[in-house]
Amino acid sequence: MDLGVSVRANRSHVKTRARPAVTLARPAALLTLAFFSSACHESLPALDPAMTSCIPASAVLAAGLNLDAIRAARAYSKLPPAMLALTEPFRQAQYAIFVFDGRNLLAISRGQFREPPAGATLLGPNLALAGTPDLVRAATAQHNTGTTGAPELVEPAKLVAAAKPIWIVVRGGVTLPLGGNAANLNRLLHATTHTTITVELRNSVDLELTALCLTPGDGREFEQSLRAILTLAAAANERQPGLAALLRGIEIRREDRTVHVAFTTAPDGLDQLLRAF
């Protein structure tokens, strides 16, 4: 997915820097970046309404990254080169929200910009958009309304953004472009209203997933299906004892129609986990 350059600004305060387009990996890369990013103990800012007002109604996934916290983290130097490349276009930004509409990716960034980030449209001195022309136009039009177009993503994000530097919210009933074993997760997403993922990295990586299912029966099926997926994945990786143990160590619990998933691992265990899916 390429984040293109918008050249259709029709307002005097909107500026576009005509430089090569920003290129980002698919949503799985956002998850990987979140896995390797770290949290800090300081209180984090709540979601910026100016940023969330740029999220169009077509969004099926939103991911927030507190870039200041990521760069200040001890684990920042451990990021894979591909993930460092992902953050490079946003070196002037303090916070970024990535939005996926099922096909294309939009980046909304906030910072003290001296000039528009490469491939971005500047909506104001502190707000930039980068993405395909259609998505940038949709985000600009949504921003002009002063409110988000996807409250079903933003409202759950508000509950975690002030405490977690990395968050992901996925709309229920969607099919994400996931490959391999991860494609099985789409069937689970179809039974949810939304799924929230938060990540912290101190001395270990701590990931929490909360899926709000449509009914208690859907919650039970989500739990059982996820347990089966993890059991099969662990069995298929018996020759890698560390990975098998990690998969078996993932905790799952259910409360009525809400399923909670949590696991903790060392940063170097994440590469193995991602390979399994």
pLDDT grade for 215, boundaries at 50, 70 and 90: very high
SS3 136: helix
The CA distance from 89 to 21, in Å, is 10
Q: Over pLDDT 90: what percentage of the chain? A: 48
Is the pLDDT at 139 greater than 90? The verdict is yes
For residues 128 and 219, membership in a common domain is answered with no
Is the pLDDT at 128 greater than 70? The verdict is yes
pLDDT grade for 116, boundaries at 50, 70 and 90: confident
For residues 143 and 176, membership in a common domain is answered with no
Select from 114, 147, 180 the last residue of a domain: 147
Q: Is residue 166 part of a domain?
A: no
pTM for the whole structure: 0.80
Q: Report how far apart, in Å, the C-alpha atoms of 202 and of each of 69, 73, 185 are.
A: 12, 8, 27
For residues 114 and 188, membership in a common domain is answered with no
Q: Is residue 156 part of a domain?
A: no
Residue 84 has a CB neighbour count (10 Å cut-off) of 14
Total number of domains in the chain = 2
pLDDT tens per residue, range 35-67: 444 333 344 456 999 999 999 999 999 999 888
Q: Which two tokens stand for residue 135?
A: 């998505």
Structure confidence at residue 224 (pLDDT): 96
Q: Is residue 164 part of a domain?
A: no
Residue 261's H or E segment, with its range, is strand 258-265
pLDDT tens per residue, range 235-263: 988 888 888 888 899 999 999 999 999 98
For residues 19 and 143, membership in a common domain is answered with yes
Domain span holding position 48: 1-147
For residues 52 and 124, membership in a common domain is answered with yes
Using left for φ > 0, alpha for ψ between -120 and 50, and beta otherwise, residue 140 falls in alpha
For residues 18 and 118, membership in a common domain is answered with yes
User: Which residues fall within 8 angstroms of residue 241, CB to CB, at 6 or more apart?
Assistant: none
